[in-house]
Amino acid sequence: MAKKKVAAVVKIQIEAGKASPAPPVGTALGPHGIAIMDFVKAYNAKTEAQAGQVVPTEITIYEDRTFDFILKTPPAAVLIRKAAGLDKAANNPGSETAGTITEAQVEEIANVKMPDLNANDIEAAKQQIRGTARSMGIAVS
């Protein structure tokens, strides 16, 4: 069987189990002519166990208007804010601290994010998570 030709790859972040044809899903997928409701139903079914988290997805759209999608891990910033118990990060990250997370929480987040990070080992992944926390104004203790 011949391989399908890829027409586009679309990346969007949607809350798990709450995709709807409204923006951002409709505006991202509509121009490519795929059945938006088919994607919404499939996405909601796959992510219902992760309700309440933002789950990025990479949608591959083929020329015959079919699609496949891959679920990614939640963004590091979302996981860090959740671990620190914050609704939002610091307004001035360099001069103010919004909260703190422990080294154990950094390791836990790094283990969750490891499949999507470009790190060779867990120490490099932890360093990336620390950097993200620092840029958000969240201290690591």
Residue-wise pLDDT tens digits, 38-66: 888 888 888 888 877 888 899 898 888 88
The CATH fold of domain 6-71: Ribosomal protein L11, N-terminal domain (3.30.1550)
Query: Does the 76-140 domain belong in CATH 3.40.1190.20?
Result: no
| Per-residue exposure over 28-59, b if at least 16 CB sit within 10 Å of its own CB, e if not | bbeeeebebeebbeebbebbeeeeebebbbeb
Whether 99 has a pLDDT exceeding 80, the answer reads yes
Domain ranges of the chain: 6-71, 76-140
Q: Which of 18-22, 99-103, 125-129 has the lowest mean pLDDT?
A: 18-22
| DSSP-derived secondary structure letter, 118 | -
Portion of the chain with pLDDT greater than 90, in percent: 9
CB 113 within 8 A of CB 64: no
Range 7-19 average pLDDT: 85
Kindly indicate the confidence band of residue 2, based on its pLDDT and cuts at 50, 70 and 90: low
Whether 137 has a pLDDT exceeding 80, the answer reads yes
Q: What does the mean pLDDT of the chain come to?
A: 86
| Per-residue exposure over 125-141, b if at least 16 CB sit within 10 Å of its own CB, e if not | bbebbbebbeebbbebe
Would you state the pLDDT for residue 119?
A: 84
CB 14 within 8 A of CB 43: yes
Sorted by sequence, the CB contacts under 8 Å of residue 18 that are 6+ apart come out as 44, 51
